[in-house]
């Protein structure tokens, strides 16, 4: 549907029709019998997943035991395949005779069991690919069985009667019947009646004390023209201000941080103290929670849910405003997991939602065929002067005002970083967000920055040009970078 490339910026955008897959999520209001059926289907999915994990790993342990007795590889127990067709074929063969499923498997839709088997096949595929080094991120472990008290209640329907009722307040799902929705479904219903949308699947899930249904829909979407397609904007995320926006025309905007969790923290502490004073569950002695504890816990969870909804709403509004206006957006690849290890900033960083902002900016840009540039994690956006390009060796987090030692520029730290990110869009060579120094072939080091922080020699307080602080001019810095090209670590912007 979308074309990618540097030609997207500065081109006359023409509306194009295409098919995209997106989700529509609605809250449900099931009655008692329907909620029991929903829990039964989700439990069936968990049971099928646990059976598949046990069935596949049983052959692994059997082969390991046989090998310990000196049995040859040709005589070991054959490997059991974990593809979805193989798991489904074996499950259909044993479900009527296995005592774990014989008495109740007919009570649920076959889609419930297919959900568990599909999740198991995906888990084994991820484990295999991670072990072979084909996946990024930390190593994925062997799939394990899901505990009843920890497993997320979810089930996916791909075939059968999946329908949005014409009244806009009910949905129909296989074996569950017609379920009332907590909110109207006219937005999706209008697209279906107009013939511009087609439901592919439906997923029910229990979250924060409420049931939800998500419809995966293939729909037609027009590529809309942004207000300023030729303008690039740098987005610097922070805590004091949620985002500082600096575009290529010199305009600066500060987006305030709503701090929804801080506003609800006083009431949340009160609710948590009340929950702790009441008799809660204890698995060690088999004690069940009291009704007063369950009531207090529901009220506390409701407050958590409200804060999460407010945060989601604020992030969506911010990212939508940015993507509707600018053709190119430059964001940073922040190490959010590392920032959360800072005990003084973890709560505020988590409340800001840095990772979600970047994710939404990316996929909303793809909807409009716009470009997203992701600056490398080591790009010194805060330590680089947006006026002359000089790079500071150190800039502690407590210093909120940037002062350049070369040109004397004094500017807010976040505003300076946002300007540098906006300028980075000009060096981007592809639509995927790769950027580099055009003057240094083979080396991608914008403005001479590298992973390692530069250290000044003891007793040397002036640079080559005689200025204080050991600063160098941009041209001299590029010459030194060329000389150190073989000795410094090279990084890329992607």
Helices assigned H by DSSP within 330-473: 336-339, 346-352, 354-367, 413-424
Residues 359 and 372: their CA atoms lie apart, in Å, by: 11
Tell me how far the alpha carbon of residue 476 is from its chain's centroid. 41
Q: Are strands 326-332 and 371-375 parallel, antiparallel or unpaired?
A: parallel
Residues 396 and 178: their CA atoms lie apart, in Å, by: 59
Residues 417 and 449: their CA atoms lie apart, in Å, by: 14
Measured N-to-C along each axis, helices 110-131 and 32-68 cross at an angle, to the nearest 10 degrees, of 40
- Using alpha carbons, list the distances in angstroms from residue 69 to 72, 162, 236, 254, 408: 9, 54, 61, 69, 76
- Using alpha carbons, list the distances in angstroms from residue 389 to 30, 379, 380, 385, 386: 61, 13, 11, 5, 6
Q: Determine whether 207 is an active site residue.
A: no
Which of 111, 255, 332, 376 is catalytic? The answer is: 332
DSSP annotation of 103 reads: T
Q: Determine whether 183 is an active site residue.
A: no
Q: Determine whether 414 is an active site residue.
A: yes
Which of 111, 236, 247, 376 is catalytic? The answer is: 236
Cβ atoms of 162 and 192 closer than 8 Å: no
Cβ–Cβ contacts within 10 Å for residue 2, how many?
15
* Cβ neighbours for 457, distance < 8 A, ≥ 6 positions apart: none
Residues 39 and 33: their CA atoms lie apart, in Å, by: 10
Cβ–Cβ contacts within 10 Å for residue 12, how many?
6
Which of 255, 351, 376, 414 is catalytic? The answer is: 414
Closest CA to 87 of 129, 127, 128, 116: 116
Q: Bridge-partner residues for 204, per DSSP? A: 155, 213
Q: HEC profile for 333-357?
A: CCCHHHHCCCCCCHHHHHHHCHHHH
Cβ atoms of 357 and 255 closer than 8 Å: no
Cβ–Cβ contacts within 10 Å for residue 254, how many?
16
Residues 319 and 9: their CA atoms lie apart, in Å, by: 19
Q: Are strands 371-375 and 401-403 parallel, antiparallel or unpaired?
A: unpaired
Closest CA to 450 of 420, 477, 422, 414: 477
**Any idea which residues carry the catalytic annotation?**
236, 332, 414
């Amino acid at each position: 549907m979308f074309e990618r490339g540097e030609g997207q910026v500065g081109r006359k955008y023409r509306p194009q029709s295409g098919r995209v897959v997106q989700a529509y999520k609605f809250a449900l209001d099931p009655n008692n019998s329907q909620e029991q059926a929903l829990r039964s289907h989700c439990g069936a999915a968990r049971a099928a997943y646990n059976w598949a994990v046990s069935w596949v790993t049983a052959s692994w342990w059997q082969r390991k035991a046989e090998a310990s007795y000196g049995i040859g590889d040709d005589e070991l127990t054959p490997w059991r395949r974990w593809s979805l067709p193989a798991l489904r074929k074996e499950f259909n063969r044993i479900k009527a005779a296995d005592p774990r499923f014989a008495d109740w498997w007919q009570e649920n839709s076959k889609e419930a069991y297919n959900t568990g088997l599909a999740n198991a096949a995906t888990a084994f595929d991820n484990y295999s690919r991670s072990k072979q080094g084909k996946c990024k991120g930390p190593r994925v472990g062997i799939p394990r069985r899901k505990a009843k008290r920890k497993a997320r209640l979810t089930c996916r329907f791909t075939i059968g009667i999946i329908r949005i009722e014409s009244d806009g307040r009910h949905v129909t799902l296989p074996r569950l019947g017609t379920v009332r929705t907590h909110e109207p479904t006219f937005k999706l219903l209008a697209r279906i009646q107009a013939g511009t949308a087609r439901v592919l699947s439906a997923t029910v899930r229990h979250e924060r004390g409420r049931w939800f249904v998500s419809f995966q829909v293939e729909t037609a979407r027009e590529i809309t023209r942004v207000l300023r397609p030729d303008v690039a904007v740098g987005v610097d995320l922070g805590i004091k201000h949620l985002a500082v926006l600096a575009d290529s025309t010199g305009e600066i905007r500060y987006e305030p941080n709503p701090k929804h969790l801080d506003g609800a923290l006083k009431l949340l502490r009160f609710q948590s103290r009340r929950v702790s004073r009441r008799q809660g569950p204890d698995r060690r002695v088999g004690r069940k929670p009291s009704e007063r504890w369950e009531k207090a816990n529901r009220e506390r969870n409701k407050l958590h849910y409200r804060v999460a909804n407010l945060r989601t709403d604020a992030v969506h509004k911010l990212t939508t405003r940015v993507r509707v206006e600018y053709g190119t957006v430059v964001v940073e690849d922040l190490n959010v997991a590392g920032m959360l290890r800072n005990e003084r900033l973890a709560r505020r960083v988590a409340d800001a939602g840095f990772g979600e902002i970047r994710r939404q900016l990316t996929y909303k840009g793809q909807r409009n065929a716009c470009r997203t540039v992701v600056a490398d994690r080591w790009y010194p956006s805060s330590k680089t002067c947006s006026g002359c390009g000089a790079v500071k060796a150190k800039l502690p987090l407590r210093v909120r005002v940037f002062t350049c030692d070369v040109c004397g520029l004094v500017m807010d730290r976040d505003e300076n970083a946002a300007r540098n990110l906006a300028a980075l869009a000009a060096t981007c060579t592809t639509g995927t967000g790769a950027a580099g120094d055009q003057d240094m072939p083979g080396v991608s080091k914008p403005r001479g920055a590298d992973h390692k922080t530069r250290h000044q020699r003891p007793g040397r307080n002036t640079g080559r040009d005689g200025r204080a602080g050991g600063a160098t001019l941009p041209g001299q810095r590029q010459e030194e970078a060329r000389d150190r090209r073989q000795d410094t670590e090279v990084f890329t912007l992607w």
